Amino acid sequence: MSSLKWWEHAVIYQIYPRSFQDSNSDGIGDLNGIISRLKYIADLGVDAIWISPFFMSPQHDFGYDVSNYCDINPEYGNLSDFDQLIEKTHELGLRLMIDIVPAHCSYLHPWFEESRKSKDNSKSDWFHWVDPKPDGCPPNNWLSFFGGPAWSWEPRRQQYYLHNFLPEQPNLNHANQEVQEELNNVARFWFDRGVDGFRLDAVHTINGDCEPYKDNLADPNFTLGPLPQDKQPFFRQLHDVAQLNQPVIQKFSEAYRRIADEYEGDRFLMGEVNGDEGNAMTVSKTFSEPGRLHATYNFDLLEWTGLSVSEIKGAIANAIEAFNGSGRLCFAFSNHDVPRSASRQLSPLGITLDKQDDLQLLLLQLETSLIGSSCIYQGEELGLSDVTNIQFGEMKDPWGLNFYPEFLGRDTCRTPMVWEKNKPMGGFTLANEAWLPISELHMEKAGLDMAKSEGSIYNKFSSFLKWRRKQPAMISSNKMSELSGGPSEIIFDRESETQILRCKFDFGLVKATFEEVTHGTS
């Protein structure tokens, strides 16, 4: 039916491997665990899976600090396990995407270990090394996402190095062509193994042409928000002027696109990007211009405190204005970095706890009815809620540890999946303890149990996805009308040459309806 490429309308299931399924009883999810649950994912009716990083890493940021891009961290398995995962995924008709981290690596990566030794070694300029100011302070006012300066001191070089995240995650210098070539080799390594696409992590934080390292400007519109991440100094600055979204990033995007185009099978590049307030869609358009990334991963529905109906409408309207008729945008309501949508959206939408499951299904149907692709985070298909009773001694996320007790970080959305209520540890592991606590509340929505329950979110959403695949307006076209509806409604038409499908999402009744209409029907 579809004349579009697979990624232009794909529903992608995100797996956080550490918390998906443990196969070797160490309390940590792994690749073989994912293999054992592939049928559950395929039966849901999604098109692809995206696996968060499983590369060699000291795990300071749980895989987003890579020490070897072309090998597997032993906790997760080995390359043979990965090859089997690709084979089994493809046998089930699914595509497989992995997470590449191009902006920074681990401080234990051999590249950085060599670079930090001196100013004249073979990798001396593979990272951002800058002399201190005359008073010994860092070279500018840039701040880390995780708190504090974006600069750390290296006594051997008597210089500061840049890290937009943790000090253990030094930023690569993309002005160095050798760095680019090494990352190009990473792309080819995984494409050669049969990977169907990459989700490119925080690609807007790539740095390369930032000399003379100008200060960021203060954000004149900053106001204190209700959550600690809105109160920390990082969010008081405008970053697109100097620190982020630099022109050199598009050299990287164009190089990766050329490599992707060398391979058969419509290999897909999706970049996680963001920009200063009011600039996110412009940034997304820049990244997905011809010859660059195929699509960008959109943050607008991932607001930490949740969104009202009006705010959801605004985010979708911005996407329609920028991308109507294309599949160059990917939507998500949840991921591994924000509280789960089943929890954070209740209050902003005025929906009571007894309607939580209805809300989760409504949000899933909404995001998969929009133009482009969408990402479903593991557990959304079950309506899992955020886990907020994690004790300090149980926390693992460095962001949360830095800001406790005001802010619990990202552990609350990363607790392990549970599969069978009547099994110890919910069937996640045979160990007595998991890397994060198992939520007792989640036991009532265990994955395999819900897959057998006719009235579960899993089965209702699965039926919807199977119906969606038969709708030309959703599968063969990426056109949609402007939004309409009252204060508690979002209504739009999906349009193809053979079908107009009216999609209505009523947040008062907490219900979605769909009907075919003809031209002129109101």
Residues 278-291, mean pLDDT to the nearest whole number: 93
> What does the pLDDT look like over 380-430, one tens digit per residue?
999 999 999 999 999 999 999 998 988 899 999 999 999 999 999 999 999
Choice among 81, 99, 196, 201 that is catalytic:
201
Distance between CA 65 and CA 57 in Å, rounded?
A: 6
Phi, psi of 391 (to 5 degrees): -85, 160
The amino acid occupying position 102 is: P
Question: How would DSSP label each residue in 267-285?
Answer: -EEEEE---STT-HHHHHH
Residue 493 near residue 502, CB atoms below 8 Å:
yes
The region of weakest confidence among 165-179, 267-281, 375-389, 469-483 is 267-281
Residue 248 near residue 286, CB atoms below 8 Å:
no
Query: Percentage of the chain surpassing pLDDT 70?
Result: 98
Strands, E assignment, 194-273 = 197-200, 217-218, 237-238, 268-272
> What does the pLDDT look like over 54-106, one tens digit per residue?
999 999 999 999 999 999 999 999 999 999 999 999 999 999 999 999 999 99
Choice among 43, 215, 261, 262 that is catalytic:
262
Say yes or no to pLDDT of 353 above 50. Answer: yes
pLDDT at 224: 84
Residue 384 near residue 22, CB atoms below 8 Å:
no
Torsion angle of C-alpha atoms 412, 416, 417, 422, degrees rounded to 10 = -120
Alpha-carbon dihedral sign for residues 64, 70, 73, 76: positive
Residues 21-40, mean pLDDT to the nearest whole number: 98
Closest by CA to 143, choosing from 244, 24, 51, 12, is 244
pLDDT at 230: 73
Say yes or no to pLDDT of 521 above 50. Answer: no
Mean pLDDT of the chain: 95
Q: In DSSP terms, which residues pair with 500 in a beta bridge?
A: 495
215 an active-site residue?
no
Residue 55 near residue 66, CB atoms below 8 Å:
yes
> In 418-446, which positions are buried (b, 16+ CB within 10 angstroms) versus exposed (e)?
bbeeebebbbbbeeeebbbbbbeebbebb
Q: In DSSP terms, which residues pair with 295 in a beta bridge?
A: 270
pLDDT at 519: 57
386 an active-site residue?
no
Distance between CA 372 and CA 356 in Å, rounded?
A: 26
> What does the pLDDT look like over 117-173, one tens digit per residue?
999 999 999 999 999 999 999 999 999 999 899 999 999 999 999 999 999 999 999
Residues 330-358, mean pLDDT to the nearest whole number: 96
Q: How confident is the model at residue 223 (pLDDT cuts 50, 70, 90)?
A: confident
User: What are the respective helix, strand and coil percentages of the chain, to the nearest 5?
Assistant: 30, 15, 50
* Count of residues in the chain: 522
Distance between CA 138 and CA 243 in Å, rounded?
A: 14
Residues 6+ positions from 181 with CB-CB distance below 8 Å: none
Alpha-carbon dihedral sign for residues 483, 485, 491, 495: negative
- The token duo for 377 is 């985070």
pTM (two decimals): 0.97
